[in-house]
Amino acid sequence: MTVIPVHHSLGSYDVHVGTGLLSSLPELLARPLAGRRLVLISDDVVEKQFAEQTQGVRAEARLTFTPGEASKTRETWSRLSDQMIALGLDRKTGIVALGGGVVGDLAGFVAATFLRGVPYAQVPTTLLAMLDAAVGGKVGVDTGLGKNLIGAFHPPAIVIADPLTLLSLPDRTYRAGMSEAVKHGLIADAEYFGWIETNAAGLVARDLELLTHLVARSVAIKAEVVSEDEREAGRRAILNAGHTIAHGLEQESDYQLPHGEAVALGLVAECRIAERMGLAPQGLATRVAGVLQSLGLPIRTERTPAMARVLEAMLHDKKNRAGQIRLALPVSLGSMHPEAGSYTVPVTEDLLASGVAGLG
């Protein structure tokens, strides 16, 4: 087992990565959630899938919702919160978030707001959640105007990532998580990016040893960035590489495009924009597209997206300033543009449109 510390002024916590950890869930939860009445929050599918492995968790309730991004709303948050109030739960409650990124974001937001905040554990069961959503303490819900526009910074008490859970994922869901690993190499570690290139076939085949290293290294990269800038006032913005365009594509597709696939497309488009702006060397986008393709991720859209809708979604991105759309852009493999400490660069609508059009 690998234990990776994450430090926040709001509270530090450890990320535990190792095969078979799900069977040790009660013991791992004992210290960070000691003496608390536990509520397990999951989606309908994941809760049933891992009911046997989690039966040792003495939860007073198991609350679920319909799987998918469409459930990550204020309405679902309100229903879950009301159910907890109806159960008579108090501030000695602890929440266990079991599932993918939607579960983690939603259950974390319930934890952040229930009686002004209770602790929670992240138990991610998808690759995308292990590498991204479960680490960092950003929680929230979507609105009709965009993703994660209502939320909070509420770090978990512990994160428990068991790569064995990844073996049961559908291929498309599993591969989608690889986009975050590629992103981590692009933004912070050229050597790690090269390792992913070299081991792409084994990662696609779900080699457990490779997977465990992938999860641990990506978590370490994110932990280092988050510990330095917990409230996204500066360098943490680099974790949004590929995500501004990704969120636009997701919303334009009415969330039919999975998040991880949208991030893959966003990384390619934003690298091309960085090249056109003279920030990144020519060929970077081609190399990024190559590794994404070798991992089974899309580098082109199946249809031409409605650019007006994509731009409208991007106009509501949280990184924007004074009405300008801003992107976190690379200057080389493993290095991002600092832009006076904000780590985001203003980009014209024409450049954004050309970047998205290049995906067709």
| Catalytic residue status for 222 | yes
Q: Which of 16, 222, 235, 272 is catalytic?
A: 222
Give the tokens for residue 140: 């929230």
| Catalytic residue status for 138 | yes
| Catalytic residue status for 320 | no
Q: Would you call 222 helix, strand, or coil by DSSP?
A: helix
Q: Return all residues near 72 (Cβ < 8 A) that are at least 6 apart.
A: 102, 105, 106, 141, 142
- What is the helix (H) or strand (E) element at residue 227, kind and residue range? helix 208-228
Q: How far apart, in whole angstroms, are the C-alpha atoms of residue 28 and residue 139?
A: 22
| Catalytic residue status for 302 | no
| Catalytic residue status for 243 | yes
For residue 94, CA distances in Å to 14, 21, 32 come to: 17, 19, 9
Q: Which residues of 217-236 are buried (b: 16+ CB within 10 A; e: fewer)?
A: bbbbbbbebbbebbebebbb
| Catalytic residue status for 326 | no
Q: Which of 183, 243, 272, 319 is catalytic?
A: 243
Q: Would you call 121 helix, strand, or coil by DSSP?
A: strand
Q: Which of 175, 217, 247, 337 is catalytic?
A: 247
Q: How far apart, in whole angstroms, are the C-alpha atoms of residue 197 and residue 235?
A: 26
| Catalytic residue status for 180 | yes
Q: Which of 47, 72, 175, 180 is catalytic?
A: 180
Closest CA to 241 of 149, 153, 306, 179: 179
Q: Which of 147, 259, 272, 337 is catalytic?
A: 259
| Catalytic residue status for 16 | no
| Catalytic residue status for 232 | yes
| Catalytic residue status for 316 | no
Q: Which of 184, 236, 272, 326 is catalytic?
A: 236
For residue 350, CA distances in Å to 277, 313, 354 come to: 12, 15, 6
Q: Which of 230, 240, 270, 272 is catalytic?
A: 240
For residue 31, CA distances in Å to 12, 60, 92, 338 come to: 14, 18, 14, 39
Catalytic residue IDs: 116, 138, 180, 222, 232, 236, 240, 243, 247, 259
